[in-house]
């Protein structure tokens, strides 16, 4: 029997960038286009669709809160009740540029064969998740060598004096006020608030890169030089078809 636990929790084999065909060439030239978090907030508000947009980006979201209404100046209690939900955010943090990609990691990998020093895996998601990805992003994507990509991001950001943070997004049930999520709300200006999202979006399995000390009202383009050597054009439907096997060396 294959032991699924041998896949490391923090292992990301690749990043996938879902991208329109007309933007592939610029991306492979190293022009990393980053929208602000505010852009994604406004995108859901304008379309009414949660997916490519998310009105809760970098926001504290709380539900079923007890409230008390006092008369201003007298502190006389006028009314009590429950609020269905509130959300608030830092006006500075939502202007942070963000690069979003899909993480090929333990959450989407199935082991098909195990050897003494390696194991074979295939990327696998259910049909509904695949349909949602294509609905949101189309069928074109790039496979990115994550280690080399982050090295080049780090080098360019160091050169420009930019504080860069990256990592996997944590998904949380926004219908309840969990202690895990509340910890992210202790400082709405911190970078950590950018790495938690509603679990309704968990199928995106997102890895993101943010430029922590950049505030912008428009998209930001980080130019890191040619990356055609570490990116491969592919189709989402082909990648998740089960026809392609990845062999991974076991960690010692």
What does DSSP say about strands 231-235 and 140-144: parallel, antiparallel, or unpaired? antiparallel
**Residue 158, in any domain of the structure:** yes
Range scoring the smallest mean pLDDT among 33-47, 75-89, 117-131, 227-241: 75-89
Assigned domain for 71 exists: no
Return d(Cα 156, Cα 147) in angstroms, integer: 15
pLDDT per residue over 103-162, tens digit each?
999 889 998 998 888 889 999 998 988 888 788 778 999 999 999 999 999 999 999 999
In a domain? residue 82 = no
**Residue 84: inside a domain:** no
Is 64 among the domain residues?
no
Q: What does the pLDDT read at residue 1?
A: 37
Q: What are 52's two structure tokens?
A: 């490519």
Residue 127 domain boundaries:
4-59+90-249
φ, ψ for residue 94 (rounded to 5)? -70, -10
The bridge status of strand 97-105 relative to strand 220-223 is unpaired
Domain tally, the chain: 1
Angle at 88 between CA 84 and CA 91, to 5 degrees: 160
Polymer length of the chain: 252
In a domain, 74, yes or no: no
Q: How far is CA 247 from the centre of its chain?
A: 25
Task: Say how far apart CA 135 and CA 30 lie, in whole Å.
Answer: 26
- 10 Å Cβ neighbour count for 184? 18
* Pair 193, 185: CB distance under 8 Å: yes
149: in domain: yes
What digits encode the pLDDT tens for the residues 218-248? 999 999 999 999 999 999 999 999 999 999 8
Q: 146 by DSSP, 3-state: which?
A: helix
66 located within any domain? no
């Amino acid at each position: 029997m294959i032991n699924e636990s041998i896949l490391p929790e923090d292992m990301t084999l690749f990043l996938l960038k879902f991208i329109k065909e007309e933007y592939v060439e610029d991306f492979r030239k190293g022009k990393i286009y980053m929208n602000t978090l505010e852009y994604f907030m406004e995108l859901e508000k304008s379309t009414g669709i949660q997916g490519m947009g998310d009105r809760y980006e970098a926001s504290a979201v709380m539900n079923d809160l007890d409230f008390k209404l006092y008369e201003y100046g007298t502190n006389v209690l006028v009314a009590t009740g429950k609020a269905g939900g509130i959300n608030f955010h830092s006006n500075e943090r939502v202007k942070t540029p963000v690069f979003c990609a899909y993480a090929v990691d333990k959450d989407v990998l199935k082991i098909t064969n195990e050897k003494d020093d390696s194991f074979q895996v295939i990327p696998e998601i259910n049909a509904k998740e695949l349909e949602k990805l294509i609905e949101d992003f189309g069928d074109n994507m790039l496979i990115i060598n994550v280690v080399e990509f982050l090295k080049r991001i780090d080098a360019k950001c160091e050169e420009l004096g930019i504080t860069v943070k990256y990592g996997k997004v944590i998904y949380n049930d926004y219908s309840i006020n969990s202690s895990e999520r509340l910890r992210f709300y202790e400082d709405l200006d911190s970078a950590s608030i950018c790495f938690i999202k509603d679990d309704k979006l968990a199928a995106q399995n997102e890895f993101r890169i943010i430029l922590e000390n950049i505030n912008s009202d428009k998209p930001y383009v980080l130019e890191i030089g040619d990356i055609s050597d570490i990116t491969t054009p592919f189709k989402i439907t082909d990648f998740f078809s089960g026809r392609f096997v990845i062999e991974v060396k076991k960690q010692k």
